Amino acid sequence: MEPASASGPTPPPVQEGGWPVMDGMRRRLAALWEDPQRRPLIIGAVFLCAALVAGLGWYVLRPPEIAVLEIQQRPVEIALSVVGRVRPSDLIDVRSPNAGQVVRLLHDDGDRVAAGEPLAIIRSTIEQAQTEASRARERAAQAEVTRARLAFSRTRTLADRGFASSAALDESRAVLQSAEATLAAAAAERRAAASQAGEFTIRAPMAGVVLVRPIDNGQVIGPETTLFQLGSGDDLELQADVDEAYADALRPGMSARAALSGSDEIFAARISEVSPRIDPTTGGRLVKLTPLARGAIPPGRSVDVTIVVGRREDGVIVPRQAVLDATTEPKVYVVDQDGRVRVRAIAILDWPSLNAIIESGLVAGDRVVLTPTQTRPSARVRARAAVAQGN
């Protein structure tokens, strides 16, 4: 072991730059730079790194992309969509005028019947007995008339021969007239009883189709019980309850499109009647429509109806989700030429259409933001054109 110096231990040699690794890299780069063949590679690597850094910065800091709809003026249909129901133009509830027990039902749902055709027979034992009693009283009155007529004939013969007085003849004539009056009363009573008994054979009041038969054989019914619901066979109509706020714009003669619920087959219809009465329970008015073509439209089915109220040849529409504060101060966001989001006040038609129909505030070429909740006024964005939707 060497003796220690009098001035203390010797310190370690100091590396250039203080970091051996960095100094080593600098020396290697210096050596590569001094090589003329490798110098272009170093320059290319530097430019590539700079380009990657610049591209990454542009990608991170670029404005967000947002969907916009470029406004175009085009024909716009103002329509009202409602749900209605198919029903016969004539609908009758068939009831019995008297209480009784159903003996036999002669028809069922879907049967076609002619006017006056029997539909059901109600048990009428008491009424039939009353009819027989009336007939017996009529026969008794007829017999009494015959007896009184014979007595009057004999009295008249005796009076002609002088064997009977005029008073006896007058008495015999009065008895005959009384018997004839009694016979007339008995005959009228018999006809009334027979008519009442006949009402227990229930007949169709019109030609049509049996829509509903809610009772069964043997059931006891009253005058308020519906035996059959009968609808006109071929004359059908569509009925819909329309809110009074929109029903005021409807008029007879307006055209409509309709389709049975769940079906894609569309048929044409036309408004035939708009009821002036407002239903206090629903706040709606009854609107009736007539199908223009006869087809297989079953009564009772639900039907989707679109009534064409008007048409604008140069209309402007935007999706309703693009409108902010639609019920108070409607406005939209538009993207200007500099890519900035601006607020635009608009006026929209107060009508329950799929899209908002613009009355003022937008012109052709304006770019409306479709998702205004995803941006804010004055923000810079990249507009991406979206496909226009139908009205």
Same domain flag for 132 and 188: yes
Question: Do 306 and 323 reside in the same domain of the chain?
Answer: no
Dist CA 95 CA 241 (whole Å) = 28
Domain total in the chain: 4
Q: Of 260, 288, 313, at which residue does a domain stop?
A: 313
Residues 366 and 304 in one domain: no
Q: Choose the final residue of a domain: 274, 297, 313.
A: 313
- Does 17 map to a domain? no
Q: Which residues contact residue 71 at a Cβ distance below 8 angstroms, ignoring those fewer than 6 apart?
A: 316, 318, 362, 363, 364, 365, 366, 367, 368
Q: Give me the half-sphere count of Cα atoms (radius 13 Å) on the Cβ side of residue 81.
A: 9
Residues 247, 341 within the same domain = no
Mark whether 112 and 229 lie in a shared domain. Answer: yes
Cα 91 to Cα 122, 134, 297: the distances in Å are 23, 38, 16
The enclosing domain of 212 has a CATH number of: 2.40.50.100
* pLDDT at residue number 53: 63
Does residue 335 share a domain with residue 365?
yes
State which of 286, 313, 340 marks the end of a domain: 313
CATH code (residue 364): 2.40.420.20
Has residue 10 been placed in a domain? no
Whether 113 is covered by a domain: the verdict is yes
Amino acid at 175: V
Q: How many CB atoms lie within 10 A of CB 353?
A: 18
Task: Judge if 185 and 294 occupy the same domain.
Answer: no
Tens of pLDDT along the chain (391 residues)?
A: 344 444 444 444 444 444 555 566 666 666 666 666 666 766 676 677 766 766 665 555 568 899 999 999 999 999 999 999 998 888 899 998 888 888 889 999 888 899 999 999 887 766 667 777 888 888 998 998 898 899 888 888 888 888 888 888 888 889 889 888 988 988 888 887 776 665 578 999 998 889 889 999 989 888 899 999 998 877 889 999 999 989 999 999 999 999 998 888 899 999 999 999 999 988 899 999 999 887 678 888 899 999 999 999 999 999 999 999 998 999 999 999 999 999 999 999 999 888 999 999 999 999 999 999 999 999 999 999 886 555 5
Is 34 inside any structural domain?
no
Asked if residue 237 lies in contact with residue 87, where contact means CB atoms within 8 angstroms, the answer is: yes
Cα 237 from Cα 32, distance rounded (Å):
94
Domain span at residue 141 reads 124-199
355 in any annotated domain: yes
What is the three-class DSSP state of 90? coil
Both tokens of 51, joined, read 């380009």
**Residue 391 is assigned to a structural domain of this protein:** no
Report the pLDDT value the prediction gives residue 193, as an integer from 0 to 100: 73
Q: Is residue 25 part of a domain?
A: no
**What local confidence, expressed as pLDDT, does residue 3 receive?**
47
Considering the domain boundaries, does residue 261 fall inside one?
yes
Two tokens, residue 371: 């998702």
Joined tokens for residue 158: 């005796």
pTM for this one? 0.59
Amino acid 28: pLDDT: 66
Q: Annotate 137-191 with DSSP letters as a single string.
A: HHHHHHHHHHHHHHHHHHHHHHHHHTSS-HHHHHHHHHHHHHHHHHHHHHHHHHH
